[in-house]
Amino acid sequence: MSDSVAYEVIIIGGGAAGLSAGIYCGRSGLSTLILEENFVGGVANSSYHIGNYPGFPQGVSGIELMERFYQQACEAQVKVKFETVNKIYDKSDIKIVETNNSVYETYGIIIALGGKPKQIGAINEDMFIGKGISFCTTCDATETKNKNVIVVGTGDTAIDQSIYLSQFCNRVLIISLNPIGEFDCSDKEKLRFIKSDKIEILWNKEIYSFQGDVHLSKVIVKDVNTNVLNEITCEYCFEFIGFSPNSHICKEILELDNQGAIVTNDLMETSHRGIYAIGDVRSKALKQLTTATSDGAIAAFMIRKYINSIS
């Protein structure tokens, strides 16, 4: 074993999958480092109410659940550092992780980078990102106090965030391409939370363009059936239409599918020995909190076997 290796395992990403892998790695005695760019918990933090995670019959907020994950990882002696990973290298038995602050050598890597938000592709969208267009209520919800807000999407995240935002803003207007009453969320129980005077849904609509001076001030909405355009005043628009796999750091060395997700087998093994991928960054049929934590447990088990085989 190399004296230059400070951590036997490096986990890239501190969301649910990464924290789960960290808990299992730490408890198995592996010295483990989690590298997270922003904040631990990932997209699960933005869930106002999680009703389908086992062990919480009354549901639990994403922030509370992820705080428990984080505390359990800390109890397992897992180290967490907030750094941006720029590149990984495979040097056979030694892997190298390059960040904005450091260069680490390790024996095994678990990639748990999740996904990055998809954009809707409307006119002037890029112009207003960070100036009224947001993908993160944790970051920007407090800025919406007494303002009119639009949410794009009717999936689990969109519904969660609409409920959360309604605590701050004047009004939440949900824009959906779907026919009337057709929600995309998998947990229909959470729909009971949107019965609020502050939340309204516009069906069969899409955002055609964003407008404003320095900051977003209105959107032009198009009816997908009639193509009729209407102007709606708003100060913030939150887009929740899904995620693209955040696999940019490994696209040069790992096999990806046509969606950019990392290809693995059922044991979380990638095309390179000693490098594993878990959670929403990997190619899989179902992307849920429970499957993310399962991925983490499997990868931790396999990486321990791998490290034992090279020691």
Please give the model's pTM, rounded to 2 decimal places.
Answer: 0.81
Residue appearing with tokens 């993160």: 136
| pLDDT value for 188 | 66
SS (H, E, C) 226-294: CCCEEEEECCEEEECCCEEECCHHHCCCCCECCCCCECCCCCCECCCCCEEECHHHECCCCCCHHHHHH
Res 87: pLDDT: 96
What distance in Å separates the CA atoms of residue 258 and residue 266, rounded to the nearest whole number? 19
Q: What is the chain's pLDDT, residue by residue, as a tens digit (311 residues)?
A: 666 789 999 999 999 999 999 999 999 999 999 999 989 999 888 777 788 899 999 989 889 999 999 999 999 999 999 999 999 999 999 999 999 999 999 999 999 999 988 999 999 999 999 999 999 887 888 899 999 999 999 888 898 889 889 999 999 999 999 998 888 877 666 677 666 788 999 999 999 999 999 999 999 999 999 999 999 999 999 999 988 999 999 989 999 999 999 999 999 999 999 999 999 999 998 888 999 999 999 999 999 999 999 98
Interatomic CA distance for residues 152 and 176, integer angstroms: 6
Task: State the span(s) of the chain assigned CATH 3.50.50.60.
Answer: 9-116+243-310, 119-239
Q: Which CATH architecture has domain 119-239?
A: 3-Layer(bba) Sandwich (3.50)
Report helix, strand or coil for 132: coil
Per-residue pLDDT at 189: 63
Both tokens assigned to 207? 């955002």
**What does the angle CA 279 – CA 296 – CA 242 come to, to the nearest 5 degrees?**
15
Distance CA 311, CA 301 (A): 16
Specify the pLDDT at position 190.
64
Sign of the four-CA dihedral 199, 204, 209, 211 = negative
pLDDT of residue 243: 86
Residue range 9-116+243-310 in CATH 3.60.150.10: no
